[in-house]
Structure 1
Amino acid sequence: MNVHFSNYICSICGRGFVTERLYSRHVKRHATEELKCKDCEKIFGNKEKLRNHQKLVHLGDAKRSKCLICDERFMDYRQKILHMVKLHGAKEPSLLCQVCNRQFNDQRNLTKHIKKDHLLERKHKCQECEMVFFSSTTLKVHMAKHTGLRQFKCDICLKAYARKNTLREHMRIHANDRRFGCEQCGQAFVQKCSLRSHMRSKHGTTL
């Protein structure tokens, strides 16, 4: 949305932003301070970069999720569970959706599922049409239909696509990745739609 609705333009690098808050936060990143990390020798250009470095690299208060078996600490609950399963043989947790009985390995995925599939939460609305979406990522992909923006380009043939997944599928052509095989004649195809077309025209069946 910052790309398509640039109300505030950075005079240093030219990037645009929807809100003044996002713009102000970005401008601070251009500040030329020299801030040294108190735990190592690295130097950073602003306080935000220094703060992010300390959270990610040094323990501090960031790694609060402690393993129940050893003293290892982690950034979040999911990392802790993976550690306990792999290193200590703990049982993978299983959370059950009370509506459809689907199982999830952590509370975050279960909550996301309930909001998206059962509560039908759609907070992200397209400004160009009436469509609404659960996530900002899905909205961003949708916006390409209105703008015609094709930012994902193939390095080999220079074809450009609006979606990263479409480019990934296209790259299988160059790799000759024929993962979709016909069970009747053995002919293989790069894309599933090509296999469907083959099944209809050659064998008179649908996939």
Structure 2
Amino acid sequence: MAIVTVSRQLGSGEFEFSTQLAERLGYRLIDRQLLERAAEELDVPIQAIEAIDEQPSPPLEVRIARRILSGATERVPLLWEEIAKPELSAGAVRSFLPVVIHELAAQDNLLFVGRGAGFVLAERPDVCRFHLIAPIADRVLRVRRLFNVEAAEARRVIDRTDRARGRFIRETFGADWSNPLNYDVVFNTGVLGIAAAVEAAAAAVHRRIRMLAA
């Protein structure tokens, strides 16, 4: 079988694409589960992981993580000692995610959403790496609906998210998040639509499985 990773621009229809593709393939969808597993293994609140998820390492995220974890010092004294250090970056907490990804990827029939899973598993021949993009107008419309904000604020959210995800991939993996050569297939959902993109992705996964079995 194969493993699927989905990288995505915010507002590209990532939720619909990922859930429909996972259902079509009969795969387990791994999204928030990655954060939950990392929090469990690190013995910290899930909010601490969420605060720095897919973000680079600016001081704001570090302060957020410290504040959230401040209520857990008795439970995780060793980790708190590390987090309390001024030089700690958000990446120090986030660095456990690749460990979780590798652990989960020992199974088959998984679809990972985000968190750099495609870069973590880049050397595996059984991994299909997809990236979703969409025209800015489509993205703004989806983000407006998702967050119930005006168009200008939706555009600001998109721009911030694009920059953050780009820096996250660059700082963590030394790669260009937007480079199509880092993926097996890039789907423009504004051109194809979600349903057609799901069909094409499923066909690509089945082809990969046949190639591995040959």
- Of structures 1 and 2, the one scoring higher in RCO (CA 8 A, sep 6+) is 2
Would you call these one fold, judging by a TM-score over 0.5?
A: no
TM-score of Structure 1 vs Structure 2, range by shorter chain: under 0.3
Please report the TM-score for the alignment, with normalisation by the length of structure 2.
0.20
Quick check: which has more Rg, 1 or 2?
1
